[in-house]
Amino acid sequence: MEEIVKVPKQAEKGSGLTFWQRTYVPEIVRGLKLTAAHFFGNLAVHIFHLLGLWTEHRGAATVQYPEEMRGYSSRLRSLHRLTKRADGSPRCVACMMCETICPASCIYIVAAEHPDPNIEKYPESFDIDLGKCVFCGFCVEVCPEDAIRMDTHILDFAAYSREEMIWDIHRLLNNEPRRAEGIGQIRKMK
């Protein structure tokens, strides 16, 4: 038997308020008191911090982005990078698996013949249009060569034009991972 849930047609307003709540002013005062307590409490903590005192006690929970950044989960899918062989050339062999699986069709690879027949194939160009990417991570999962990763923890790659959002092989190869120590840890940026 199905349980029938009755959905109220209208939000219920004002019912169940006590007399004191209805008088309005005392509630406002109570709210302001809470805000003011946090404000002055944090102000005091930050002043102590400036004087080098009481540093083991954290102030407001706000992260001072972008001066400070939080560490992300190691599973986080962030900006892509292409990994390198020992000699610095891309590990990617231009197999087009990532290009094929990409649901946003935002990977553009041009393959070429590698002079070494044991490598055989390499990407002459490898562009990702981050303006289209949906950060699904399929490209990473499908890669047979561990050539593409999304572990840089870089999320601030906004740009002023669509063209700048297209990252080419040089930028992707030189994306050094920027990883903080674990979740919740705050890291000061230089």
Partner 1 sequence: MPTLTIDGQPITVSKGTTVIQAAEALGIYIPRYCYHPGLSIAGSCRMCLVEIEKAPRLEVACYSQAADGMVVHTITENVRLARRSVLEFLLSNHPLDCPVCDQSGECDLQNYYMEFGLYQSRFLENKIKRRKAYPIGPHVMLDNERCILCSRCVRFCDEVSKSHELGIVNRGERSEIALYEGRELNNAYSGNVIDICPVGALTERDFRFQCRVWYLNRTASICPGCARGCNIEIHYNVLRPYQSKGKRILRIKPRFNPAVNKWWICDEGRYGFRHIDASNRLRECEAQTADGVIPLGMETALKTAAAWIGESIEQHGKDSVGFFLSPELSNEDLYAILKLARHLGISKIDFRNPGEHPGFEDNFLIRGDKNPNRRGCVELGLYHRQRENGGWMAEEIKQGTLRMLVAFLQDLSLEPEFKAALVSLKRLIFVGSNSNATSEQAGLVLPSATYAEKNGSFTNFQGRAQRFERALVPLGDSLPENELIARIAAHFRMPEQPFEREQLLLDLRAEFPFFDQSTLDPPDVELAYQTTIAQREHA
Binding site for partner 1 (CB under 8 A): 93-97, 100, 108-113, 117-121, 144-145
Binding partner of residue 112 among ligand SF4, partner 1, none, CB under 5 to 8 Å per kind? partner 1
Please, are residues 147 and 93 in contact by the beta-carbon 8 Å criterion? yes
- Tell me how crowded residue 181 is: count the other CB atoms within 10 A of its CB: 9
Q: Closest distance between ligand SF4 and the C-beta of residue 76, in Å?
A: 12
**In terms of Cα–Cα distance, which of 29, 31, 33, 62 is closest to 45?**
62
Where does this chain touch ligand SF4 (CB under 6 A) — which range of 21-29, 55-63, 129-137, 157-165?
129-137
Q: Helix/strand/coil (H, E, C) string of 160-184?
A: CCCHHHEECHHHHHCCCCCCCCCCC
Q: Contacting ligand SF4 (CB under 6 A), which of 69, 79, 147, 169?
A: 147
Q: Closest distance between partner 1 and the C-beta of residue 83, in Å?
A: 15
Binding partner of residue 119 among partner 1, ligand SF4, none, CB under 5 to 8 Å per kind? partner 1
Long-range Cβ pairs for the range 107-112 (8 Å, 24+): 107/139
* 148 is an interface residue for ligand SF4 by CB under 6 A: yes
Please, are residues 93 and 122 in contact by the beta-carbon 8 Å criterion? yes
Please, are residues 148 and 82 in contact by the beta-carbon 8 Å criterion? yes
Residues with Cβ within 8 Å of residue 117, at least 6 apart in sequence: none
What residues numbered 81-120 form the site for ligand SF4, per CB under 6 A?
A: 92-98, 102-104, 106-107, 109
- Tell me how crowded residue 80 is: count the other CB atoms within 10 A of its CB: 26
Binding partner of residue 135 among ligand SF4, partner 1, none, CB under 5 to 8 Å per kind? ligand SF4
* 138 is an interface residue for ligand SF4 by CB under 6 A: yes
Q: Closest distance between ligand SF4 and the C-beta of residue 34, in Å?
A: 43
Q: Closest distance between partner 1 and the C-beta of residue 132, in Å?
A: 15
Strand, coil or helix: what is 111? strand
Applying CB under 6 A, the site for ligand SF4 has a residue count of 26
Return residues touching ligand SF4 (CB under 6 A). 92-98, 102-104, 106-107, 109, 128, 133-139, 142-143, 145, 147-148
